[in-house]
Every structure is written in structure tokens, then in C-alpha cells.
Structure 1
């Protein structure tokens, strides 16, 4: 097994994600942490926050330049200090926003003085939908990216969802740690004053209402002239039309993704068409109930406010 594959197995994720970086960040008042599991609305939420912070703008090259991923390294052996230096170099006169797929305590949770005033926006998605979306996302990683890390594509890619679930998700424990473990960590903190807990299905069901809720949470008050731009630039059609702005084109030493990887269908409530079977669904739900224990949390994870 290559060093990259060993690292991936150890972290239950690819080697370019190194969560320990987050422990070393020098946080500032006003920082916004966007904490979301993979394929659960992360890029959309990054853009929403960026649009609110800027008053609505189309003038950016890559959302990852504006909202850095704080557990990501651009090439094998990149010193963590390089990542930290970039964060420190961000202007002090404007608020910073960051992406992470981690939950506490891996991403530090700060909530009381003298700690900096950091806000956390947490978004989750039905885990069936997220996992079936994750397989084509892996397929869209470039050959150059896998080669850079010395990782054969076959280490993570599979031709169908059933084999992907069994040989990649189950073997790595990703469903336990990166999804239900994520929920377990954030659920007790969901009502803290500096945490906004959202569900992807609810956000899709009320685009404008969700963005206004995020604005209120962040204490941002866009003008009447800014709101139409913010709503337009956070819409799925606009993001799909300008998907080159959302494909992490500046994040790696070589291209990470092929075109169309980040902005896919943007639908909620449809996992079977992407390969989810009844058998896998039952297995995944059983894992969730075992890991979480709190059935209310699990039910909300699957359905959001539509839970019965």
C-alpha cells in the first residue's frame, strides 16, 4: 500500500484532507466557520456566506480563494504553516469565512470570552443523498490529482454505487465518522448562540428564507439594492452557469477536478436514481442509529423540518 493510501485509510478520508491544521489557527472576532459533511451543500453555503459578506458580487475567480478550506493541503508534504500563513494574511478589515468537513473537537469550538467571537454555520443533508452524490464526485477528480498524490484512481473510485458503498464507504468507516459522527458532535451544540443548524432540504425548499436566516445570524443587513444580487448569485442556475468559479481551480498544485464536479443536480429527495438500494438504505440507517443513539437526531438528519 502506498503512503498516500495508508494516510487515506488512517484518516478515513483522502490524504489531502489533514484536519489537524485547524488546531493551529489564530482565530479572529467575526470569523465564520462553514462546517458541512461532504456533498451536503458545502459549496452552496460557502457562496451564500461570501455573497452576504460582499453584498452580492460575481467578481471572483474561485470561491476557494475567498473561503479557504482549512483542513486541505495543495500538494504532498505541504507544510501546515503555509496554510496558516495564508489565513493570517487575509485582510483584518473584513470578516473571514472558512470551509471544513470537520465537527468539534476536530474543528475547535469557541463560544465564550476571552475566546474570539466565531460563528458556526452547520448544514447537513440526508446521508443517502450525500453518499450517492459522493461517488460521481470522486470520479470527477482529475488524473493529475491522483498522480500527484501517488494514489491510483481505483483506491477510491468504483463503477457502481453498491461496490462504492461496500469497498470505499464501509471499509473506511466514512459513513460512521464523517456523517453520523459529525451529527453526533454538533447535535448537542445546535442551540448555542453562535451556531446556526440548517438542513439542506429546508434550504432548497426556501432559498430566500434560508439566506435571510443566515444573514440575521451573521448580523449582516444587506441593502434593498444588494438583496436581488445576493439571491441571483446564490441560485442554482447561476452557479451552474458559472461553475468554473466553484471547482477549486486555485486550491491545488495541479487541477483537482474535471468540469462539472461541484455543481451537479442540486436536488433533494432522490437517492435511488443514483444507485441507493433498499438494502444499503437499511444498513446505513442501522449504522446511524447505532452511532447516534438519539433517534430524534437521526430522523432530523434524514428529513430536516419535514420529519414526522
Structure 2
């Protein structure tokens, strides 16, 4: 993972940055960003902890009719930025069609193809901040080594606009960059919370978007794509979704034990809200302030919920316009 800008304010944050400095190589990342996709390739596009693994599973279940024949989901839906460092060939054929990849790139850095498909998912930033912290705790730092406040203020919120291709965009700039393309024919822009509210509806929408038969009731409903993409199923089979490929290949380069973090799976309860970790009001206010300085300033929406409502109204208006054209 790219080393982020900003001064470390504690020994724990300093160690976190130092460890993440070995997460990927410059050659490997640049090779991924220079990847030339084929027509029809599908990209799962998210800022970290916005539902990446969930979307990888949905796409793979749709294209494979429910196959779980993989060690870990990124084996069959490779991570573009990490593939070279993990020994994966992005140009290789996939066992199922369409080929599918994951990326955390903002729009500017993402490999492009006019006939590729990009599924973009965003999530409430308060939940993202907490989820990112709990994902790293027990892997890149031990409980008590880094506080939630330190992590959010001096790591997650410290991100901004990338100064080079070796840096990820902040959650906020990533969102803005893809929002501008939400109505491109090859972009499907979704909200995590909407997917939770009606998974089957969104599985069907994703199937239609990537060219899979969305009228196939057996595939869309049970026991294939939708059932195997529920949090209940994924939690019961968390070993398929624990980032083990990355951990086994890159932990030692980060100065960690080879098996560090293997018990720290990516699938939790999938709940909106903060779960077992409470986000202090002061931190929530700092996240809101960053939202206003970025998303609010550029897109004119003061809150995440306002942005969701804006897209809902836009979709409804487009539907009505299409009906009027018939």
C-alpha cells in the first residue's frame, strides 16, 4: 500500500507507515496501472473498505454460476495494483467470462477501456473510517498500539489528492473523481447502503450491466449469486475472503510475521453504523469537515445522505425522461 503523506504523530503511526512502505513495489504498482484491459473486462472500483470484497464475490458468482473453486477471492478477481507483486499475470485469460479485476484507483489512475465496465461503490465515510481501523488492527498494528483517533486523524484523513501514482487518493477525492463519470455508459455507480437494503435487486442490476442474463431466476436468486453474496454466507466462509494471498506474499516485506493478520478477515457483519467500535463525536465532526471541504465544495452536497438522495432523484428523472421518449 502506498506510503501516505503527512507527519506521523505517534510511534504507532510511524511504525504503521514504515510497515506499509513494504506493502508493494513501485515497479509492481506501475505495471498494474499501465495494464491494458480487453473489451468487456469488468473492474470493481472502490476506496478501501467500501464493499470491495463483497463486489468481487457478486461479480464472480454471477459469471461462474456460483463457483467457490478458489483459495481466496483475489485469486480469481485480481487486484490490479498488487497483481505483479503477487505473481499474477493481468493479461492471462480467466476461467470465466467476463474477466474481472479489483482496484482502489481514483479515476485518473485507473486502467481505461471504452468497452470495459466499471462498478463503483461508495459507503458512508464514518463507517469506512472505523472499518479501515478494525481491518488493520491485529494485522499492521496490535490492539493499543494505535488508537482509533490517531488512525483516523493522522492516517485516513491525512490522505488527499495523490502526488504520484504511488499514492492512493483519499476516500473523498476518489469519490469525486468517479462521481463525475456516474452517467458514463460503462460506469455503474452504487451505494453500499442501497445494496444492503435490497441485495437481489442490485445483483440483478450488476448482472445486466456486465452482460450476464439478469432474467435467470435460478442464478440471480437462490442458491447461486445472491445467496452466496450474503454476509451470512461470506462470514461462514471467511477463509475465502481474508486477503491471504496478499498477506502470505507481502507480510515479510512489511517487517511482519508471515501469518500476520490471517485471523483478521475482511467480512464482518456488514452493518451500517459503527458496530463494536464507537466513533467519537469529535472524530465524526472532523470527517464531516473533510467532507465539506472536498465533496461538499466540489459537488454541492453537504452530507453523504444528501449525495445518495441526489443520485436517487437523478435516476428517477432519467427514468421518467425515458418513458416520455417511448
Name the TM tier (shorter chain): 0.7 to 0.9
Of 131, 135, 147, 1:160 maps to 147
Tell me what 1:290 maps to. 293
Aligned pairs for 1:43-54 (under 5 A) are 43-54=53-64
For the residues of structure 1 that align with 2:144 and 2:102, how far apart are their CA atoms?
A: 24
User: Residue 123 of structure 2 contacts residue 193 of structure 2 at CA under 8 Å; is this kept in 1?
Assistant: yes
Aligned pairs for 1:125-136 (under 5 A) are 125-136=123-134
Structure 1: where are the runs of 5+ without partners? 112-116, 147-152
Tell me what 1:206 maps to. 198
Residues 149-204 of structure 1: per-residue CA shift (max 9 Å, x gap): xxxx48x9844312222332244559993210001101110011000000000000
Matching of residue 109 in structure 1 with residue 112 in structure 2: yes
Deviates more, 1:232-241 or 1:173-182: 173-182
Report the CA distance between 1:287 and its aligned residue.
1.2
Higher relative contact order (CA 8 A, sep 6+): 1
**For this pair of structures, how many residues does the alignment match?**
279
Shift in CA distance, 203/259, structure 1 to aligned 2, threshold 3 Å: same
Matching of residue 261 in structure 1 with residue 248 in structure 2: no
Of 86, 91, 97, 1:88 maps to 91
- SS across alignment from 1:189: coil
User: Residue 60 of structure 2 contacts residue 77 of structure 2 at CA under 8 Å; is this kept in 1?
Assistant: yes
For the residues of structure 2 that align with 1:57 and 1:224, how far apart are their CA atoms?
A: 17
Residues 48-107 of structure 1: per-residue CA shift (max 9 Å, x gap): 000011112233321111100111268xxx4x9x54xx1112348732111111111111
For the residues of structure 2 that align with 1:201 and 1:265, how far apart are their CA atoms?
A: 13
Matching of residue 224 in structure 1 with residue 217 in structure 2: yes
- SS across alignment from 1:294: helix
User: Residue 73 of structure 2 contacts residue 240 of structure 2 at CA under 8 Å; is this kept in 1?
Assistant: yes
For the residues of structure 1 that align with 2:100 and 2:128, how far apart are their CA atoms?
A: 23
User: Residue 138 of structure 2 contacts residue 261 of structure 2 at CA under 8 Å; is this kept in 1?
Assistant: yes
Shift in CA distance, 303/191, structure 1 to aligned 2, threshold 3 Å: closer
Structure 2: where are the runs of 5+ without partners? 8-16, 163-167, 250-257, 314-326
